[in-house]
Structure 1
Amino acid sequence: MSIPTAPEKDVKLQEAEPELPPVSYNAPLAELEAPTRRTWAETISVLISGVALFSDGYNIQITGYTNTVMAKLYPHDLTTTMKTRISNSILIGDIFGMLLFGLCADRLGRRWGIIGCTFFLVLGVTLATAAHGKSIQGMLWMIVVSRGVAGLGAGGEYAVCATSAVEAADESPALRRKRGLLVATSTNVAIISGFVGSAIVFLIVLVAYGGKPSEGVWRICFGIGIVLPLSIFIFRMRMVDSALYKKHAIRKQPFPYKLAFKRYWKPLLGCSLVWFLYDVVVYPFNLLAPTIAAGFNDHQTLLQSNGWGALVNAFALPGCIFGSLLIDRLGPRQTYALGLTVSGILGFVIGGAMEPLRTKGTGAFAAFVVLFGLFQSFLSVGPGNCNFIVSSESFPTPIRGHFLGLAAAIGKAGAAVGTQIFPLIQARFSTTIKGHQAIFLIGSAICLVAAIVVMILVPNRRAQLEDEDTLFRQYLEENGWDTTGMGSTVVVLGSEPEGKEPRR
């Protein structure tokens, strides 16, 4: 059917219906800005995104704890090189997953990307839990490969879940005013909760085995990582794509990569570089926390050293909760820089005072734990919370998955680099104290450099995500790219026809 057209300023929307010719009708520019009614589907998509990223946090961080058990079980086979391979395998899988599922999220839809992520995550964790071989070396190599497969799914969650969360949090003015809080809660708070959850699970399992290293400890800890993805799979199957994606997606046409990079190279550079610098610092310190804590007492048991490490990492959780409350007040970019700056200052204090902290007894050790915990906490206040939201808000809906996935992949490359070089830096010094001092000073300097990068290259947020979608569509049209096939509707600016309500 057709609806009579209005004056020249009218807007035409073409909505494709299955097996029917396009339907034309007129709608106003105000429709782009009119709030849409929040439905249960959008709310569930934010919540499910958070739960999914909890799995990612758990499966990454549990390696740091299980490595301490494996080191005692297999002292000759679990060399420093093999330990690094096990830690980095999931990170390398993450990188490929972010790139692959970032593309899938834009081209196939957010929902199908989520289903694919769940499949690879569950498959990889299952294989790692059941790892066997003709020798210990063979078993360890199976763990390396299996955790790489799990990383493919876990990495894909970053691109798919973050895009789904930020778009669902933009569905109405009420949600939009709390977009920073909602996205931070469904991304970084969930990941850090996974970090903390992995510590709690590990300590419980270790206590169940009498605090002694056992093969059952690492297998049970790995296996628990399967439970959460499977428990929410039915809900993820029912998820729907966001209204923004349905309206602006580029699914069938050749993708305008050249034009997209030409317009958004600067924010892409900023988001990628600062995410890389952040991960260079945060992942090594998360993994080294039990080792650093153990260095204060040569006679600590396996349970004590991992317990102190878990306490230090747990400081990140209140930090990300506090930071999520700041984002909508200060702005994502400003909150990002604030967290990095404070972390840098705290790291310099710890590095400068490392020797008296190590040699002044129990009270000094408590002071170290508090300072190290605050260092971790402010890394979550700023970059931990804001990585996802600045990398989502800086790009329009049609390319959000591509560019967020690329920025996250470059960030994860930083994690692989950091976990490789920080232990080597520490080992090059003659004493443990000097080695710990060096990594804190270097990490703090990186934090301050990252804060400068944020303020120079990362753009300020837009109040409404669709503002950038409209500008990107106009940019493509100005450069001769056909936008008529984008999404389920094609938008041209104009006014509303008389006597007819716009359709969604």
Structure 2
Amino acid sequence: MVQGKKNLVEDAKFSPFHMKLTIYSSGGPFLDGYILSIIAMALTQITPQLHLNATWSGLIGASALIGIFIGGFFGYVTDKLGRQLMYTIDFIILIVASILQFWIQTGWELFIIRLILGISIGADYPIATSLLAEFSPKKHRGMMLGVTLVAYYVGSTVAYVVGQLMLSIGPDAWRWMLASSAVPAVILVLLRMGTPESPRWLLQHGRPEEAEQVLKQVYGEQASLQDITMPGVSKTKTSYWKLFSGGYLKRTLYVGLFYMAAVAPLFAMLTFGPEMLTSYHLFDGAGGYGAAIISALFLIGCIPALFFVNKLGRRMMIIVSFAGMTVGILLLGIFPHGPVLLILLGFIVYAIFSGGPNVMEWLAPNELFPTAVRGTAVGITTCISRFGAVFGTYLFPWGMKHFGIGPTMLVGAAVTFGGLLVCIALAPETTNKSLNAASSVSSRSRGRVTG
């Protein structure tokens, strides 16, 4: 790109194409929230019918998270084979697995099928977010990638409401609940058809003519390859090792650890929302509408973060957010039998401030790593985060049973405070940088690479 000349990709206005791509790419997070939350409602019927103990309840609650961990490794595949090819294949698998849940008869069958569902969702994270990031203008990148996390909480909230309404079907309502995720998945597969391949990926893989054709199709005839390249920057190869060497090691640790600290207590709360509310005597205990309100609070928390991600900057926003989350969850841990208003305050503070890390979970890895390893980075940092999410979800019912809700929440507060320390030590600033500039590291740390 010529210095001082407007970049038709990075400086582009938010177009109908960007709107559609944001909506389509948000489908995976929507289904993630839906699938991980609908199980909370379904377990109220599954547990007595399939005679599940606390161990099996925890395993089934965590099964999709384990699958997401495995699916994260498909980030390497999307860097190798392309974003567009995998953009619909993973949802076809999700549709089949969703429908199969209707006929399960045992706990281990449900565990296996939800593991497959998780793999499909985990694969979609690097596929969809990499594609979205590589088409996003720098001014709108934070908003576009942040919206995908808003979609997660929309899916979660919808799941609780749908689950509560479906309870009236009868004792087999849980089968319809679990299979219902096939409906939005089918719609999204149809919508995603015809999405163009990322021009950055095409250029990275020696297909410049196709890359330029896509650029002209999306941004107009004046767009060229100069709009996605940066002088003095060389290409790099797709490799897991790139993420753990030179300047990228610090970035991998930052994203993986803050992501893990954010989702460990959060996923446990969403998966076992009805049981948690029973312990706090809120919203009539196991009612799905009460859990939907909690989920909606997390959704609302993402809204201000979408605006502050540019105004405050990436680094300041995530540090302030983790500090607020720590205070909120501490209130829940210290006063488990306190006044209802105090408990509600704890939930509200934690949920509102969680918006910062939520918005950054996919924005950070997509900005901090170059095209050749962008999908791999999203996948690996998702895998790292799921260690915390899996253990948090698996141990949450065990902790409530043996220690009670207060001490269990205090453990969550310790994890959240750890995330705060990680952000203070490692969070970089990428606000208002082009994707190429944000994803490059200094030549002293490992040599320059493409964005």
2:450 aligned with 1:467, yes or no? no
Q: CA deviation at 1:469?
A: 5.8
Q: Classify 1:42/1:315 alpha carbon distance in 2 versus 1 (closer, same or farther; 3 Å).
A: closer
2:197 aligned with 1:214, yes or no? no
Please point out which of 103, 108, 112 is paired with 2:81. 108
Please point out which of 138, 141, 155 is paired with 1:194. 155
Q: Classify 1:350/1:84 alpha carbon distance in 2 versus 1 (closer, same or farther; 3 Å).
A: closer
**Gap runs ≥5 in structure 1:** 1-27, 133-138, 171-175, 358-363, 430-434, 488-504
- 1:130-209 matches, cutoff 5 A: 130-132=103-105, 139-170=106-137, 176-185=138-147, 187-206=148-167, 208-209=168-169
- Per the alignment, residue 24 of structure 1 pairs with none
Higher-Rg structure is: 1
- Per the alignment, residue 271 of structure 2 pairs with 287
- Per the alignment, residue 411 of structure 2 pairs with 442
CA RMSD of aligned residues (A): 2.9
- Per the alignment, residue 17 of structure 1 pairs with none
Q: Classify 1:374/1:250 alpha carbon distance in 2 versus 1 (closer, same or farther; 3 Å).
A: farther
Is the CA contact 2:240–2:376 (under 8 Å) kept in the aligned structure 1? no
Q: What letter is aligned with 2:309?
A: I
Please point out which of 341, 347, 356 is paired with 2:329. 347
- 1:25-44 matches, cutoff 5 A: 29-30=2-3, 34-36=7-9, 40-44=16-20
- Per the alignment, residue 274 of structure 1 pairs with 258
Task: Give secondary structure in 2 for the equivalent of 1:443.
Answer: helix
Q: Classify 1:169/1:69 alpha carbon distance in 2 versus 1 (closer, same or farther; 3 Å).
A: same
Task: Output the CA distance in 2 between the equivalents of 1:128 and 1:31.
Answer: 56
Q: What letter is aligned with 2:132?
A: A
Q: Classify 1:284/1:382 alpha carbon distance in 2 versus 1 (closer, same or farther; 3 Å).
A: same
Q: CA deviation at 1:241?
A: 1.9
Residue-by-residue CA offset, 1:319-341 (whole Å, 9 max, x unaligned): 11122121111122222222211
Q: Classify 1:467/1:79 alpha carbon distance in 2 versus 1 (closer, same or farther; 3 Å).
A: same
Task: Output the CA distance in 2 between the equivalents of 1:53 and 1:330.
Answer: 25
Q: Classify 1:254/1:267 alpha carbon distance in 2 versus 1 (closer, same or farther; 3 Å).
A: closer
2:224 aligned with 1:262, yes or no? no
Aligned identity (percent) is 21
Task: Output the CA distance in 2 between the equivalents of 1:442 and 1:416.
Answer: 15
- Per the alignment, residue 13 of structure 1 pairs with none
Task: Give secondary structure in 2 for the equivalent of 1:354.
Answer: coil
Q: CA deviation at 1:244?
A: 2.4
Q: Classify 1:238/1:369 alpha carbon distance in 2 versus 1 (closer, same or farther; 3 Å).
A: same
Is the CA contact 1:46–1:164 (under 8 Å) kept in the aligned structure 2? no
Residue-by-residue CA offset, 1:455-489 (whole Å, 9 max, x unaligned): 2123211510022567699998x69xxx9xx99xx
- Per the alignment, residue 50 of structure 1 pairs with 26
Q: Classify 1:405/1:383 alpha carbon distance in 2 versus 1 (closer, same or farther; 3 Å).
A: same
TM-score by length of structure 1 reads 0.76
Is the CA contact 1:335–1:386 (under 8 Å) kept in the aligned structure 2? no
Greater shift, 176-185 or 259-268, is seen at 259-268
Task: Output the CA distance in 1 between the equivalents of 2:296 and 2:439.
Answer: 38
Q: Classify 1:370/1:69 alpha carbon distance in 2 versus 1 (closer, same or farther; 3 Å).
A: farther
2:327 aligned with 1:365, yes or no? no
- Per the alignment, residue 58 of structure 2 pairs with 84
2:391 aligned with 1:417, yes or no? yes
Task: Output the CA distance in 1 between the equivalents of 2:237 and 2:329.
Answer: 47
2:94 aligned with 1:121, yes or no? yes
Is the CA contact 2:331–2:342 (under 8 Å) kept in the aligned structure 1? no
2:360 aligned with 1:386, yes or no? yes
Q: Classify 1:374/1:107 alpha carbon distance in 2 versus 1 (closer, same or farther; 3 Å).
A: same
Q: CA deviation at 1:197?
A: 0.8
Q: What letter is aligned with 1:106?
A: D
- Per the alignment, residue 314 of structure 2 pairs with 332
**Gap runs ≥5 in structure 2:** 208-234
Task: Give secondary structure in 2 for the equivalent of 1:351.
Answer: helix
Task: Output the CA distance in 1 between the equivalents of 2:260 and 2:5.
Answer: 35
Task: Output the CA distance in 2 between the equivalents of 1:354 and 1:81.
Answer: 24
Task: Give secondary structure in 2 for the equivalent of 1:461.
Answer: coil
Is the CA contact 2:330–2:346 (under 8 Å) kept in the aligned structure 1? no
Is the CA contact 1:111–1:236 (under 8 Å) kept in the aligned structure 2? no
Task: Output the CA distance in 2 between the equivalents of 1:196 and 1:301.
Answer: 17
Residue-by-residue CA offset, 1:384-415 (whole Å, 9 max, x unaligned): 11111112111111111001110011111211
Task: Output the CA distance in 1 between the equivalents of 2:244 and 2:410.
Answer: 36
Is the CA contact 1:32–1:466 (under 8 Å) kept in the aligned structure 2? no
Task: Output the CA distance in 2 between the equivalents of 1:32 and 1:111.
Answer: 30
Task: Give secondary structure in 1 for the equivalent of 2:245.
Answer: helix
TM-score by length of structure 2 reads 0.85
- Per the alignment, residue 375 of structure 1 pairs with 350
Task: Give secondary structure in 1 for the equivalent of 2:369.
Answer: coil
Task: Output the CA distance in 1 between the equivalents of 2:281 and 2:243.
Answer: 54
Q: What letter is aligned with 1:292?
A: M
Number of aligned residue pairs? 419
Q: Classify 1:274/1:148 alpha carbon distance in 2 versus 1 (closer, same or farther; 3 Å).
A: same
Task: Output the CA distance in 1 between the equivalents of 2:382 and 2:400.
Answer: 27
Task: Output the CA distance in 2 between the equivalents of 1:162 and 1:466.
Answer: 16
Task: Output the CA distance in 2 between the equivalents of 1:150 and 1:32.
Answer: 46
Is the CA contact 1:313–1:373 (under 8 Å) kept in the aligned structure 2? no
Q: CA deviation at 1:31?
A: 9.7
Is the CA contact 2:61–2:394 (under 8 Å) kept in the aligned structure 1? no
Is the CA contact 1:106–1:249 (under 8 Å) kept in the aligned structure 2? no
Q: What letter is aligned with 1:282?
A: L
